[in-house]
Amino acid sequence: MSESETGSIVYRIKPKAPKAHVFEVNCLIPSPDPDGQVISFATWIPGSYMVRDFAKHVVRLWAHRGEVPVAVEKQDKSTWRCAPGVGELTISCEVYAWDLSVRGAHLDMTHGYFNGTSVFPRVHGKEDQPCIVEIQPPDGEVYEDWRVATAMTRAGAAPFGFGRYRAADYDELMDHPVEMGCFSLGSFEAEGVIHDVAIYGRLRADIDRLLHDLKTVCEQHIRFFGDTPPMNRYVFLVMALGEGYGGLEHRASTSLMCKRDDLPRVGEKELSEGYRSFLGLASHEYFHTWNVKRIKPRAFIPYDLTQENYTRLLWAFEGITSYYDDLALIRSGLITAESYLELLGQMITRVWRAQGRYKQSVAESSFDAWTKFYKQDENSPNAIVSYYTKGALVALALDLTLRRDTGDQLSLDDVMRALWQRYGKIGEGVPEEGVESLVMELSGLNLKGFFDTCVHGTADPPLAELLAYVGVEFMLRPAESNKDKGGKAAGKAVELLAARPTLGVQLAPGSGEAKLAAVFDGSAAQAAGLSAGDVVIAVEGLKVTAADLEAKIAAYPVGATLSVHAFRRDELMEVKVTVQAPPNDTCVLKLRSDVDEATLVRRAAWLGTMAAGGF
């Protein structure tokens, strides 16, 4: 321990019982509050806007001065107060870790993973003090090969080793997840910054290809912001599992969860849909290194981890990031223009399929993320809009509007760079109206109407007309089946699809029976009185299952009235359903070839395909 570490709060964490999923954590406080030190656990983790009350996984907590026990009293669901006293105080606790997600903590014989929010108590009044983190290995020979991956700064530990790390303060301590175990490891350099990739899970992936492609994405984002990268090292912590998908952004790392089959196999050359979506996820979280980890809402400076932090700006932080995640894949040459338009068409389809977009704006969706977006139920498609997907479409519309109305003098790219310079780079929070006013200031355009209708109102962004400006045709058609995600031309003529009626429901996956997961507003099923949770068992007196309900309905003409039997709980009911024409809610985008040279140039500038010379 060096001189400067005197006064640091020292956290020690050890996988005490991997088979029982228990970490032991000790927190040494050199000069605690003599009137009774207060400590607490976070109730939420930044990036995932839901109160999760991590203290619920604290199995035991006690305090002591050396060998002498100190009384501790719990004050609320997350907070404890120690008895008054002078001199170094240690808080000890056992934390149960069995949440295999990017948000929590997980421990078994194969690995350990934790976020600071799950395991480290906050020492009240000392949030600004530096922290030492001593990461200890589990006891036992079987764990001898375990290593550690984290973006936390080493303070004595060997590279990827157990031992001492440090964080400048509590805020940083919460922002460096840690993986330990026998992970696969690879590294690359992007614009002078070392990037490590640690992958937990059994896999047979082509690591070299993965490293090459991640490097391409990272360089694209660093060059996009056009400044010295804000981190001097970066770590991708990947959990590759049989099933799973998710990511969480941090200042110098990200935790990603994916299906191991989504990672490319050795010898495989093509880009699978699964791998494309993995690259999109990695791209998304990496863009957050700037947009939300540094360019952040004023409401998040500092994060208050004791309660909900409200902002109407998540559409800008998640939506704009969702816009650039896939755009970076085409701009860096990893996917083709057709592949990009397929992804965009799928995103538009997801937004266009839910009537909730007419009930909630993306600003409201941001504000209510805590209770609505993160706590979705059967009514969500009818009641809310996603600030991710619609937010990305607002970003697209804003980008194309700026390009069109400034004569291609300004784009959303310029706005992002200005947000970085004006806010992110200097640690200044973005005020609630900050994005809108900066856009209008830089462009000289009065875009109040755009923001009032598309961000604070519930209008669909005018994508058909804006995409025409860059030579892309916007088409809507009915879905071919409930597996049709959009983005691609249909295999059947649109007139044939329009003649196949639907109930307007979403089926619950898995059980085999036709259980309704959601009934859409304005649908035939809703008009007939069917509800989410009902199990449809017969149409016109003949048995149906989840596999054939859709096809059996589609065999009747639009407007036919059918007898439908269903169970609600254990009660059989019969309703008359007048089946409706399917909605035109499936989007396909196409590169137009019949456009002038100026349009081609604009399209190449937007998609970043100028240098490559192709479209």
Binding site for Zn ion (CB under 5 A): 318
Which CB atom, from 32 or from 47, has the smaller least distance to Zn ion? Answer: 47
Q: Which of 28, 270, 253, 289 is nearest to 133 (CA)?
A: 28
- In angstroms, give the least distance from the CB of 284 to Zn ion: 5
Residue 472 C-alpha from the chain's centroid: 28
- In angstroms, give the least distance from the CB of 123 to Zn ion: 30
- In angstroms, give the least distance from the CB of 46 to Zn ion: 11
Which CB atom, from 280 or from 345, has the smaller least distance to Zn ion? Answer: 280
Which CB atom, from 318 or from 550, has the smaller least distance to Zn ion? Answer: 318
Which CB atom, from 318 or from 399, has the smaller least distance to Zn ion? Answer: 318
- In angstroms, give the least distance from the CB of 393 to Zn ion: 15
Gap between the Cα atoms of 13 and 163, Å rounded: 10
Which CB atom, from 318 or from 534, has the smaller least distance to Zn ion? Answer: 318
Which CB atom, from 292 or from 514, has the smaller least distance to Zn ion? Answer: 292
Length of the chain: 615
Identity of residue 444? G
Instruction: With residue 608 as reference, give the H or E element that holds it.
Output: none
Residue 87 C-alpha from the chain's centroid: 43
- In angstroms, give the least distance from the CB of 394 to Zn ion: 15
- In angstroms, give the least distance from the CB of 322 to Zn ion: 7
- In angstroms, give the least distance from the CB of 288 to Zn ion: 6
Show the CA angle centred on residue 246, arms to residues 294 and 43, nearest 5°.
65
Residue nearest to Zn ion (CB): 318
Identity of residue 522? G
Instruction: With residue 137 as reference, give the H or E element that holds it.
Output: none
**Eight-state DSSP code of residue 92:** E
Structure-block tokens of residue 553:
């309905």
Q: Which of 201, 194, 303 is nearest to 253 (CA)?
A: 194
Gap between the Cα atoms of 201 and 199, Å rounded: 6
Residue 371 C-alpha from the chain's centroid: 17
Gap between the Cα atoms of 79 and 88, Å rounded: 20
Which CB atom, from 179 or from 318, has the smaller least distance to Zn ion? Answer: 318
Which CB atom, from 247 or from 486, has the smaller least distance to Zn ion? Answer: 247
Q: Which of 512, 513, 504, 511 is nearest to 535 (CA)?
A: 513
Which CB atom, from 57 or from 293, has the smaller least distance to Zn ion? Answer: 293
Gap between the Cα atoms of 546 and 25, Å rounded: 48
Which CB atom, from 172 or from 318, has the smaller least distance to Zn ion? Answer: 318
Beta bridge partners of 558: none
Gap between the Cα atoms of 321 and 326, Å rounded: 9
Gap between the Cα atoms of 546 and 553, Å rounded: 12
- In angstroms, give the least distance from the CB of 239 to Zn ion: 17
Sequence-distant (6+) residues with CB within 8 A of 156 are: 163, 164
- In angstroms, give the least distance from the CB of 493 to Zn ion: 39
- In angstroms, give the least distance from the CB of 484 to Zn ion: 26
Gap between the Cα atoms of 46 and 293, Å rounded: 9
- In angstroms, give the least distance from the CB of 279 to Zn ion: 15
Which CB atom, from 166 or from 293, has the smaller least distance to Zn ion? Answer: 293
First and final CA of the chain: distance in angstroms? 58
Structure-block tokens of residue 412:
């959303």
3-state SS, residue 520: coil
- In angstroms, give the least distance from the CB of 422 to Zn ion: 22
- Asked if 376 and 384 count as a contact pair (C-beta separation under 8 A), the reply is yes
**Eight-state DSSP code of residue 205:** B
- Asked if 253 and 231 count as a contact pair (C-beta separation under 8 A), the reply is no
Which CB atom, from 323 or from 520, has the smaller least distance to Zn ion? Answer: 323
- In angstroms, give the least distance from the CB of 318 to Zn ion: 5
- In angstroms, give the least distance from the CB of 592 to Zn ion: 32
Which CB atom, from 111 or from 288, has the smaller least distance to Zn ion? Answer: 288
- Asked if 365 and 45 count as a contact pair (C-beta separation under 8 A), the reply is no
- In angstroms, give the least distance from the CB of 248 to Zn ion: 8
Strands 153-154 and 38-40: unpaired
Which CB atom, from 262 or from 318, has the smaller least distance to Zn ion? Answer: 318
Show the CA angle centred on residue 396, arms to residues 393 and 402, nearest 5°.
140
- On the CB side of 606, CA atoms within 13 Å amount to 30
Which CB atom, from 99 or from 318, has the smaller least distance to Zn ion? Answer: 318
Gap between the Cα atoms of 162 and 312, Å rounded: 41
Identity of residue 518? A
